[in-house]
Amino acid sequence: MDIKKNIIIGLVILFFLILWSGFFNLQIVKQDTYLQKSINNSIRKETIIPVRGLIRDATGRILVDNTAAYSVAVIPRRVSEGVLDSVVRLLRLNPEKVKAKIRKRNGFRPVTIARDVPDTSRIFLEENRLAFPGVITLLEPKRFYRDSVFSPHIFGAIGEVSPKEQKEQPLYESGDLVGKSALEKQYDLEMRGTPGVSYTLVDASGRELGPYNDAFNIPARHGQDVYLTMHYKLQAFAESLMEGMRGSLVAIDTRNGGILAMVSKPDYDPRLLAGKIDSDTWNRLLNDPGHPLYSRAIQSVYPPGSTYKIVTALAALQEGLITPDWKVTCPGYFKLGRRTIHCWNAAGHGTIDLYGAIRGSCNVYFYKLGLKIGLNIWEKYSTLFGFGRPTGIDLPNESAGLVPSVAWFNRRYGEGGWTKGNLANLAIGQGELLVTPLQMAQFAMILANRGTYYTPHFLDHLYNYQNGQNNPYPAEPHFINGIEAGNYDVVREGMRRVVDGGTGWLGKVPGIEMAGKTGTAQNPHGDPHAWFIAFAPFDMPEVAVSVIIENGGGGGAHAAPVARKFMEMYFFNRLIPRPVIRKKTPEEVAPVDSVIAPLELPALLPVLPALEDTL
In tens, the pLDDT along 528-576 reads: 999 999 999 999 999 999 999 999 999 999 999 999 999 999 999 866 7
- Whether the Cβ atoms of residue 107 and residue 26 lie closer than 8 Å to each other: no
* Contact partners, residue 505, CB within 8 Å, separation at least 6: 499, 556, 560
More confident residue, 206 or 442: 442
Helices 309-318 and 437-448, packing angle to 10 deg:
40
Q: Give the pLDDT band (50/70/90) at residue 205.
A: low
User: Residues, the chain, total?
Assistant: 615
Whether 106 has a pLDDT exceeding 90, the answer reads no
The DSSP line for 569-580 is HHHH-TTSPPP-
Where a domain ends, among 109, 144, 179? 144
Q: Give the pLDDT band (50/70/90) at residue 597.
A: very low
Confidence (pLDDT) at 32: 58
Confidence (pLDDT) at 605: 30
Instruction: Answer whether residue 178 is part of any domain.
Output: no
Predicted TM-score (pTM) of the model is 0.86
Percent of the chain whose pLDDT exceeds 70? 87
Instruction: Answer whether residue 362 is part of any domain.
Output: yes
Mean pLDDT across the stretch 153-169?
94
Instruction: Answer whether residue 114 is part of any domain.
Output: yes
Instruction: Check whether residue 456 and residue 309 sit in a common domain.
Output: yes
Instruction: Check whether residue 129 and residue 241 sit in a common domain.
Output: no
Give the C-alpha separation, 441 to 38, whole Å.
63
| Neighbour count for residue 411 (Cβ, 10 Å) | 11
Give the C-alpha separation, 551 to 544, whole Å.
23
Instruction: Check whether residue 316 and residue 458 sit in a common domain.
Output: yes
Where a domain ends, among 88, 117, 144? 144
Q: Give the pLDDT band (50/70/90) at residue 138.
A: confident
Q: Is 6 exposed, middle or buried (0-12, 13-18, 19+ CB in 10 A)?
A: exposed
Instruction: Check whether residue 131 and residue 236 sit in a common domain.
Output: no
**pLDDT single digits (tens) 12-70:** 777 777 777 766 666 665 665 555 555 555 777 777 889 999 999 999 999 999 998 99
Alpha helical stretches, state H, 353-478: 354-360, 363-384, 406-413, 420-427, 437-448
The CATH number given to whatever domain includes residue 545 is: 3.40.710.10
Instruction: Check whether residue 373 and residue 519 sit in a common domain.
Output: yes
Instruction: Check whether residue 438 and residue 538 sit in a common domain.
Output: yes
Q: Give the pLDDT band (50/70/90) at residue 591.
A: very low
Confidence (pLDDT) at 609: 30
The CATH number given to whatever domain includes residue 127 is: 3.90.1310.10
Instruction: Answer whether residue 217 is part of any domain.
Output: no
Instruction: Answer whether residue 59 is part of any domain.
Output: no
- Whether the Cβ atoms of residue 174 and residue 105 lie closer than 8 Å to each other: yes
Confidence (pLDDT) at 349: 94
Q: Print burial letters for 563-597: b (CB count within 10 Å at least 16), e (below 16).
A: bbbbbbbbbbbeebeebebeeeeeeeeebeeeebe
Instruction: Check whether residue 402 and residue 523 sit in a common domain.
Output: yes
- Whether the Cβ atoms of residue 234 and residue 569 lie closer than 8 Å to each other: yes
| Neighbour count for residue 460 (Cβ, 10 Å) | 25
- Of 9-13, 233-237, 396-400, 500-504, the least confident: 9-13
Where a domain ends, among 144, 159, 176? 144
> Total structural domains in the chain?
2
Mean pLDDT across the stretch 339-356?
92
| Neighbour count for residue 349 (Cβ, 10 Å) | 22
Instruction: Check whether residue 283 and residue 429 sit in a common domain.
Output: yes
Longest Cα–Cα distance in the chain: 137
Distances in whole angstroms, Cα of residue 566 to Cα of each of 114, 204, 597: 44, 65, 21
Domain that holds residue 331: 232-583
Instruction: Answer whether residue 53 is part of any domain.
Output: no
Confidence (pLDDT) at 28: 66
- Whether the Cβ atoms of residue 613 and residue 562 lie closer than 8 Å to each other: no
Cis peptide before 609 (omega within 30 of 0): no
Q: Which residues pair with 137 in a beta bridge?
A: 72
Instruction: Answer whether residue 513 is part of any domain.
Output: yes
Give the C-alpha separation, 343 to 424, whole Å.
12
Instruction: Answer whether residue 505 is part of any domain.
Output: yes
Instruction: Check whether residue 518 and residue 390 sit in a common domain.
Output: yes
